Amino acid sequence: MGDFMRQYWMPAIQSKELEADGDPVRIMLLCEKLIAFRDSQGRVGILDQRCPHRCASLFLGRNEDNGIRCVYHGWKFDVEGNCLEMPNVPVDFRFEPRVKAEAYKTHEANGIVWVYMGPNQDAPPPLPLIEAAMAEDAEIWCLMRDCNWMQALEGDIDTSHVGFLHVGSLELDDLDDDHPMRPTILNRAPEYKVQPSDWGVMYGGYRENDDGQMSWRVAHYMFPFWTQTPNNRFHSRAIARAWVPIDDEHSMLFDITCGSDEGNPAYKSRRKTGELLFEKFDYAPNGTGFYDRWRCVDDVHNDWGIDRESQRDGTQYTGIANITMQDQAVTESMGGITDHGFEHLAPSDAMVARTRRRVLTAARALREEGTVPPGVSDPEVFYRARAGSFLHNPDDSLDEAYRAALSEAERYGSKTPEPAE
């Protein structure tokens, strides 16, 4: 699976986390311990944390004069891993050109530093044309989740949990007539259409609305670890969520949204009374360890802030007041990696099952036949994905309804692939 992931560009860190000549940041990707730093000219480097001299951590290094200098013996490396200086070696014996720190190709755009960890460092593929990530004014936030990336991702593509985990305590009278969550409350057991797509897998959960139209909640899995969730208004907002593998039992969420409306109804919408549907969650202070960035105050140690009284009195179905923490609690409670042999999947889990199969098929095709995974050499396929809720006439298929909605949607970003640097 690691080789499969390495075929793609991945979000590594937010731009705002790195200052020119500022502190390096420890990051872990695909089980590799790395450092990220921004040099004097503003360029970003992502390097193996080990100095290639004696393996001391470059996190302890001095970020100065366009390079990171190891404090052990003073060896200095630029953002491409080139050794610039080895001052502890006599001049006549220096061999800087023959030493290089392991460095990966980076690209910075719209608030995100991307990294390519694949084999073709001299000729990386183009960046994926993921709509929300292409918007200059995108809203971005991150969150550490203490479980496997696929386990975390599956919560995004399981729409039937919304009627219970997130809005189980709500009734129709609690929401305005045009609220996008209303159809979910009207029918908490939606029917599904699931189909493969060029970018991964698409599903449409459908329920008849109280005005006779069909309410669609369309979402996507996109290779290799992206989702688009259906909580937005389809026509006016774009979303992309990357579940970036840190190691087998930890992942980092990059949530990226853009659009012309007030924002994701799952986070910002209100009841008729004006009260927010969900409270905000609080971050713990960032630390410097590999697992210490973008963590929540609430976690397994306080049962994710559960309030049993609000669970009993009907204020919150879960007793957890924030929608993100509701997802965090159930996915982390499964353990670092779920034992799928213990599961009993239902028809409402069709999207989860199809996505697992799609990922495994693509990974095996790469390993056994050398087949380039979808979206690597054709990044424009991702631009054809848009998620959200919308109403449509009940006679059309998912594909017909989706194409009609997409043709009317506001689009963001550019469809021209970013050149590989």
Query: Which domains does the chain carry?
Result: 2-116 (2.102.10.10), 131-408 (3.90.380)
Hey, is 265 helix, strand or coil?
A: helix
Mean pLDDT of 67-82: 98
Least confident range from 222-231, 256-265, 278-287, 364-373: namely: 256-265
Determine the residue type at 84. L
The two tokens of residue 188 are 């908490």
Q: Is the pTM of this model over 0.85?
A: yes
Return phi, psi of residue 56, to 5°. -65, 150
Q: Which residues are CB-neighbours of 141 under 8 A, at least 6 positions away? A: 255, 294
Residue 275 pLDDT more than 80? no
Mean pLDDT of 236-264: 91
The two tokens of residue 161 are 């949990």
The two tokens of residue 276 are 């927010």
DSSP codes joined into one string, 379-396: GGGGGG---EEEEE-TTS
DSSP codes joined into one string, 111-148: TEEEEE-SS-TTSPPPPP--GGGG-TT-EEEEEEESS-
Mean pLDDT of 273-300: 90
Nearest of 105, 60, 56, 55 to residue 80 by alpha carbon: 105
In the chain the first and final C-alpha atoms are separated, in Å, by 25
Nearest of 379, 389, 29 to residue 223 by alpha carbon: 379
Predicted confidence at residue 413, as pLDDT, reads 83
Residue 401 pLDDT more than 90? yes
76 vs 413: which has the higher pLDDT: 76
| 174 confidence band (pLDDT: 50, 70, 90) | confident
Predicted confidence at residue 415, as pLDDT, reads 64
Cis, bond preceding 224 (omega within 30 deg of 0): yes
Q: Which residues are CB-neighbours of 294 under 8 A, at least 6 positions away? A: 141, 142, 143, 144, 252, 283, 286
